[in-house]
Chains A and B, each alone.
Chain A
């Protein structure tokens, strides 16, 4: 698929690519810039770009007013916990669907996906009532369970597509070579499935980290993760843009760094199977 590309063409392509990239990145850039401004500069019209008095005041205020580390810890527990729990269920589920499918496997997969089409707010009321009944409101465990269920269909689907790519004959070959079930899983299946498992974990940590609907509705003070931390800085009146931006930057920084270092895995995970 080699195509001759002229230098001029390359320059145009590169410029357009950078422009699109900047356009997508702009809100994040603007948030980060705003977080270093004073509240007055933040709402200045015309907007100030780079030449303002850079200040860390917002971060100080935010840190003083609320305990960032507590929110961060909640986020880590909830995102990590829901992903871990989900994988415990999703791996065996995807495993059996990929390697010992039944007549109904396709239907089950579609049904699982269909639950993602339901607007979340449609089940907010019943879930809220269940949470009250079981005393799960504003608990990390409650939120972990809800987010696990919300993301479970995606985990099973992703893993299923990965496992599907592992040819059954290779597993049979290992059986012929004298491997028992344990050796087959340990030495053949897992090494071949690790890239898939890794990108599924990664994507779901990100999804759970960014999940705002359920975290805002089901938590108050104790179990609130970083999404609630951001939301607490918006208010109907007064100047809050700079502080909100500082809170946002602090909230997205960990996941942004994680995403940056694992972007190769992530892209592979999202486009897997598209190109052989």
Chain B
């Protein structure tokens, strides 16, 4: 069981308030992702839940018990660090067994659980190696192994994939998602990568400067961003935000339209501009369009086969039903 509740939690370092009063509930078995730009307080929030930092005020409850003043060792949570934080002087086997040894389990039980975790994570052949002899991906697996053996109430991941190369990252992303499906344990995952957030989360918590901007499922956030910040943060490439006369036509201060919701035509459309950069990804092509009279560069997604190039004139038409409208304060207009 791992229901985690934060009530009016705050954190200050000296005079600097990193987390203003914040309420959040993470349900048992949920995969929650904290996402936001660097310095938004997402890692601090995770460390508060872990107990590695003390809250300045407020209450943290784990499974209904007040855990605010409990040491990290006693909270029953497991954490995977960005740097993996393996014990360099211990073999992989000893690394994974360490939490079990601390819990005072007997050797036979320790061995059984280590073997089991190693089998799940494809580490059986590496049990007698030192962390220094492993690749980045293998070290990451050891760190996860060390976390799963003790069967914690919840897993905390602090940007665990940011040290891996792009291909490995996609693979590990899938493995962590599968692990969550199998274990059905609460997981809290911190990342600045909105793709990781969208693909893994049951619930995304978007943070900015310690404030929660929006909480919701990936598709909630994609379909109905609560404000301009979330609109700009979720989705790749970023949503086009247009203000001025074009927005006024829709009775809004700013309108937002995602690149994938604009159709492209070589000769006719609602808007027109000049292609500045075209990025061909094979399946898709992204055009960055200048001189549209709409303000900033407009990004559109087109089919991979569209053959427009730098300097070509392009015509674009937004899909009317997916135009997002925002008021002067940047809040969504329903």
Contact = CB atoms under 8 A, between A and B. Distances in A.
Interface of A: 167, 169-170, 172-180, 183, 187-188, 191-192
Contacts of B174: none
A175 B82 CA distance: 16
A177 B102 contact: yes
B89 A175 contact: no
A176 B79 contact: yes
Contact of B72 (A169, A175, A183, A188): A175
A82 B150 CA distance: 45
Given A170-B86, A172-B85, A178-B102, 13 more contacts: A167-B85, A169-B82, A173-B146, A176-B52, A176-B72, A176-B73, A177-B99, A177-B150, A178-B99, A178-B103, A179-B102, A180-B73, A187-B98
The A interface, classified by DSSP as helix, strand, loop or mixed, is helix
A172 B102 contact: no
Nearest to A166: B88
Contacts of B103: 178
Contacts of B150: 177-178
A169 B83 contact: yes
Contacts of B32: none
B89 A191 contact: yes
B264 interface: no
Interface in B65-96: 71-74, 77-79, 81-83, 85-89
A187 B73 CA distance: 15
B50 interface: yes
Interface in B117-157: 146, 150, 156
A174 B87 contact: yes
Chain B interface category by residue count:
20 to 34
Given A170-B87, A191-B89, A192-B88, A175 B73 contact: yes
A178 B73 contact: yes
A170 B103 CA distance: 18
A179 B77 CA distance: 13
Given A173-B79, A177-B98, A177-B146, A188 B87 contact: yes
Contacts of A167: 83, 85
Contacts of A183: 102
Q: Which of B51, B102, B156 has the most C-beta atoms of chain A within 10 angstroms of its own C-beta?
A: B102
Interface string B235-278: 00000000000000000000000000000000000000000000
Contacts of A177: 73, 78, 98-99, 102, 146, 150
Contacts of B73: 175-180
A118 B93 CA distance: 52
Contact of A176 (B78, B83, B88): B78
A173 B73 CA distance: 10
Contacts of B81: 169, 172-173
Q: Which of A174, A175, A183 has the most C-beta atoms of chain B within 10 angstroms of its own C-beta?
A: A175
Nearest to A167: B83
Contacts of B78: 176-177
Q: Which of A173, A183, A187 has the most C-beta atoms of chain B within 10 angstroms of its own C-beta?
A: A173
A189 to B, nearest CB: 10
Contacts of A172: 52, 72, 79, 81, 85
Contacts of A173: 79, 81, 85-87, 146
Nearest to B72: A175
Contacts of B85: 167, 169-170, 172-173
A167 B81 CA distance: 12
Contacts of B82: 169
Q: Which of A167, A169, A177, A180 has the most C-beta atoms of chain B within 10 angstroms of its own C-beta?
A: A177
A188 B89 CA distance: 8
Nearest to B52: A172
19 contacts: A170-B85, A170-B88, A172-B72, A172-B85, A173-B85, A173-B86, A173-B87, A174-B98, A175-B51, A176-B50, A176-B73, A176-B77, A176-B78, A176-B79, A177-B78, A177-B98, A178-B99, A192-B87, A192-B88
Given A175-B73, A177-B99, A192 B83 contact: no
Nearest to A172: B52
A162 to B, nearest CB: 14
Contacts of A170: 85-88
A33 B85 CA distance: 54
Nearest to A175: B72
B66 to A, nearest CB: 19
A195 B81 CA distance: 25
Contacts of A179: 73, 98, 102
B253 to A, nearest CB: 44
A178 B150 CA distance: 10
A187 B87 CA distance: 10
Contacts of A191: 89
Nearest to B81: A169
A179 B45 CA distance: 22
A175 B87 contact: no
Interface string B104-116: 0000000000000
Contact of B71 (A174, A175, A187, A192): A175
A191 B89 CA distance: 7
A191 B83 CA distance: 19
A244 to B, nearest CB: 47
A169 B99 CA distance: 16
A187 B100 CA distance: 14
Nearest to A184: B73
B188 to A, nearest CB: 13
Contacts of B72: 172, 175-176
